Structure 1
Amino acid sequence: MIGYIVLGVIVLLVFLMVSVFNNFAKNRNVVKDAWGNIDVALKRRYDLIPNLVETVKGYATHEKETLERVIQARNAAMQVPDGDINAQIKAENQLQQTLRSIFALSEAYPDLKANAGFLDLQNKLNEIEENLERSRRYYNGTVRENNTYGESLPGALFASVLKYQHFDFFEADAASRENVKVSF
């Protein structure tokens, strides 16, 4: 009789472990799928940045340092290894901060602000940013679900054994929430 009870408990634990494993796998795949939506928008933004920098160069030649920081941040974001979502988030926050400095420059150069090419690039970038914001909200929702399951019962019991993966939220960092200061 005791053998049946022990066998029943073991079978129950195996079923619980399989269920938790399946939930970890499902949540991880949903997060990665959500990140894929963000990744597409990021690649579009990467392609747009060189054109934006070239347009600004013609008007703000003595702002070389600002433009170089934008290109460096873009290159750093593009070089993050595929699949390292948490590192990509950090790189994107840095890129976002440097992009804000370009648009702050446009305030100081009325001719640039009125340039049709610059306005077109700015509109395209705004469209990409809006798409990114929608994708970011969806991604953060999937991350919240994944992290909550992995940090609560029964997921927390098996997290280390089943290689649970924690993901960072894709939020604006504190520096990107501050106003950009441009001085001449």
Structure 2
Amino acid sequence: MPSSFLLPVLGIGIPALVILWAIFAYNRLVKYRQQVSEGWSGIDVQLKKRSNLIPNLVKVVKGYAAHEKTTLTDVTELRAQCVSSSGSGVDKRGEVEGGLASALTRLLLVAENYPDLKADNSFLDLQSTLTEVENDIEMARRYYNGAVRLMNVSVESFPSNLIAKQFRFTRAEYFQLENSDDRQAPGVQL
């Protein structure tokens, strides 16, 4: 008698557990996808802040170092590329933003040759703000890449990959800068 009772319980219990697990796995994947979106939004906001600082920085530097035209032109053109690439994929955005970070570093290094520029309050304020924004970009990038890691592990690992494949959850792309030198926030030794 006990074995005849156990079969129906197992027949109902095991499918119920599988369904509960599938719901849990699906909801976890949704959560991770939302964290990836939130992380990318944070990066995007910080990159826009940086782009908004650049025209003022270029204007201040131009007043002191007008013959540094190549550097100023590079920064301006790369900023325009960054603004126009705001809707593009993570890889493309990382490539363009990496180029801008290099150009900003070169621009800030120009200040080393101009003591009056280094002492200008507007320049110092912009440099300080830019450093803060670069730190915020780094924190946003870490959050985003952590969310991407969680998502990718869930999408690729068994058995959650079964749910991911069924509901078309895909791997997310890490946000990386192309040049390892570009991974450092621009800075100037004063």
TM-score for the superposition, normalised by structure 2: 0.77
> 1:49-83: per-residue Cα shift (whole Å, max 9, x none)?
00001111112222211111111211111112537
Query: How many residues of Structure 1 are paired with residues of Structure 2 in the alignment?
Result: 179
Is the 1:60–1:109 Cα contact (8 Å) retained in structure 2? yes
The partner residue of 1:74 within 63, 70, 79 is 79
Q: CA deviation at 1:143?
A: 1.4
Instruction: State the alpha-carbon separation in 1 of the partners of residues 132 and 156 from structure 2.
Output: 36
CA–CA distance in structure 2, aligned partners of residues 77 and 11 of structure 1: 50
Gaps of 5+ in 2: 1-9
Structure label with greater radius of gyration: 2
The equivalent of 2:118 in structure 1 is 113
Change (3 A) 1:96 1:6: farther
**2:178 equivalent to 1:176:** no
Distance verdict in 2 for CA 1:177–1:128, change over 3 Å: closer
Unaligned runs of 5+ residues in structure 1 are none
Q: 1:23 to 1:75 in 2, by over 3 A?
A: same
Aligned to 2:127: 122
CA RMSD of aligned residues (A): 3.0
Match status 1:49 vs 2:54: yes
Query: By how many angstroms is 1:118 displaced?
Result: 0.8
Indicate conservation of the 8 Å contact 1:53/1:67, yes or no.
Answer: yes
Amino acid of the structure 1 residue aligned with 2:182: S
Q: CA deviation at 1:99?
A: 1.0
Q: Tell me, what secondary structure is at the counterpart of 2:173?
A: coil
Q: CA 1:82/1:177 → structure 2, altered by over 3 Å: closer, same or farther?
A: closer
Residue in 2 aligned with 1:58?
Answer: 63
| 8 Å CA contact 2:44, 2:86 repeated in 1 | no
Contact residue 85 and residue 92 of structure 2 kept, 8 A: yes
